[in-house]
Amino acid sequence: MHDVTAGIDDIRREIIDRHQIIDWSDRFPWWPQPAHVKVLFYADGSIQYDGGPFLGLKQVLATLTARVYPWVHFDVTTAHRRSDPSADHDNVDLAAALAIDSFDELWIYSIESGPQLSAGELAAAQAFMDTTDGGVLITGDHADLGQAFGNLRRAGTMRQLPAPPAAPPTWNSTLRTGADSLFQFEDQSDSTPQPLRYRRYWAGVFAQAPHPVLCSSLGPIDIFPDHQHEGEAVAPAPTDPNEWPGGVGAEVIAWGNIVDPSSNTVGREVGVLSAYDGHAAGVGRVLADSTWHHHFDINLRGLPGDPARPGFVTPGTASWITTAKKIEHFFVNAGVWLAPPAKQAAMRAAAWWPILWSDAIVEAHPLRDRSWLFGRYAYDALGRYAPQCAVFRWLWDLVPTLVQQDFVKLIDPGDPPPFAEYLAGVATRQLIERFDVRPDRLPDKAPELEEVDAAFEGVAERALGELVGDMERRLDAVRRLGSGAKAR
């Protein structure tokens, strides 16, 4: 059994072993440096990063810094509104915490009620989200826990406040039974997760997929830690243009459901995650979680000394490693998705350069002028290093917003034209041409990420032009076939 109270370094080693993480820089020195994303964790009240009533956030911190994906490294700073000896900085308000560094993301773990943010803190947070496109993850729990941040622009409204209480019969209990047939509070620390229903989106090659934060190499992230009295993630209507620029609104992207018979709402679905794609409106993204119990060590690593409540990272059940890795992929995916557009471009460049010498692309090199087919190979090569949903988002981000909107309106969801494959094929071909890539030689060093990203200019226009041209030629061929049939 693993050590529930292990330190972050030990936990990180567990994760590296579990995900079989390799230091690619030693093997492939011509790979580019990964994108660096700076994340600020900000907590209040009795929440601590190591220890405290919830045993800490060590599993999340270790996962983010384990370099699960070779094309991104997360640099995490921990700050606390009150006193926490395990924080990098404590007794700092939000404005002061955001000023510590040029952060890309803010992850909020609040247990205090409120609202409590001062005008200066609100202004600093608004500038972070609206001016620098900073991403925000916000959590809380039942009733008014986390309401201290309830007046935070957009993010504060994406969790129901007040949420259902911490007592039956109206609580949001997503518990599943554990060591016995009873629904007990401590079952949140066992190895049985709650199932999730997730929203599906058009996603190119794979037709439909979950939101990018819920994708993994093991398939959709369709499970989450359970808890006896969760809060609720919601999607407020984007009625105020000052709050929701461009009319872009949030969406609930995943739901749990209540089966605990102590509840009078058995069968009701609970919003577990909601997401706001602020990049479509020129501001930062937001991800709201119904409870910080999905992140706490008491849920993820279990209860010390209780073998019936080992958490999700202890070898035991037949599915333990899949469950553990899916949950860990969620944390990394959240960090990827929340990053500002400039960091998204850096991640895309860092992931794309190495595939130019993958076996799939080297062998498909003669086919590079057949964009649709070449794009299939590129998709496969990228999918070895990144979740397919992330690959699709990187491609889709190359397409102007208005074209995205028109395309989604026009496509047949059951049989979409292969626009994503054309994008992947044209983008990969442009990289090959820009850097004179040849399959029979390796580069001495990698270009700067900005140089790689610049090579993607014009990809959407060329890909769409090739797609339209190929479809017109196929339509002409069908017409000729029809004419021939009539002549007979």
CA distance 236 to 249: 7
Mean pLDDT, the chain, as a whole number?
91
CA distance 368 to 360: 12
Q: Which residue is associated with the tokens 């626009």?
A: 419
Whether residue 91 contacts residue 120, with contact meaning beta carbons closer than 8 Å, is answered with no
Using alpha carbons, list the distances in angstroms from residue 456 to 166, 355, 429. Answer: 51, 15, 10
Q: What is the mean pLDDT of residues 164-187?
A: 83
pLDDT at 315: 78
CA distance 288 to 239: 19
Strands 197-198 and 250-257: antiparallel
pLDDT at 205: 61
Q: What is the mean pLDDT of residues 118-125?
A: 98
pLDDT at 320: 83
pLDDT digits (tens, 9 = 90+) for 145-171: 999 999 999 999 999 999 999 999 999
pLDDT digits (tens, 9 = 90+) for 322-381: 999 999 999 999 999 999 999 999 999 999 999 999 999 999 888 888 999 999 999 999
Whether residue 203 contacts residue 306, with contact meaning beta carbons closer than 8 Å, is answered with no
Q: Identify the band that residue 1 occupies on the pLDDT scale cut at 50, 70 and 90.
A: very low
- Strand pairing partners for 42? 79, 108
- Strand pairing partners for 109? 43, 139
Give me the half-sphere count of Cα atoms (radius 13 Å) on the Cβ side of residue 35.
Answer: 28
DSSP state letters, 34-95: PEEEEEEEEE-TT--SBSSTT-BSHHHHHHHTT-SSTTEEEEEEEEESS--TTSSEES--HH
Share of the chain above pLDDT 70, in %: 95
Q: Is 177 exposed, middle or buried (0-12, 13-18, 19+ CB in 10 A)?
A: middle
Q: Is 115 exposed, middle or buried (0-12, 13-18, 19+ CB in 10 A)?
A: middle
Q: Identify the band that residue 478 occupies on the pLDDT scale cut at 50, 70 and 90.
A: confident
Within 10 angstroms of residue 231's Cβ, the number of other Cβ atoms is 31
Q: How far is residue 409 CA from its own chain's centroid?
A: 25
pLDDT at 228: 86
341 contacts: CB under 8 Å, gap ≥ 6: 133, 279, 397
CA distance 73 to 99: 21
Q: Identify the band that residue 3 occupies on the pLDDT scale cut at 50, 70 and 90.
A: low
58 contacts: CB under 8 Å, gap ≥ 6: 6, 7, 8, 11, 49, 50, 297, 301
Largest CA distance in the chain: 87
Q: Which residue is associated with the tokens 């809380």?
A: 140
Q: What letter would DSSP give residue 125? A: H
Amino acid in the structure at residue 239:
T
CA distance 341 to 168: 43
pLDDT digits (tens, 9 = 90+) for 200-238: 988 776 578 999 999 998 999 999 998 888 999 999 999
Is pLDDT at 248 greater than 80 in this prediction?
Answer: yes
pLDDT at 206: 57
Q: What is the mean pLDDT of residues 402-427?
A: 83
The residue ranking higher by pLDDT, 91 or 114, is: 91
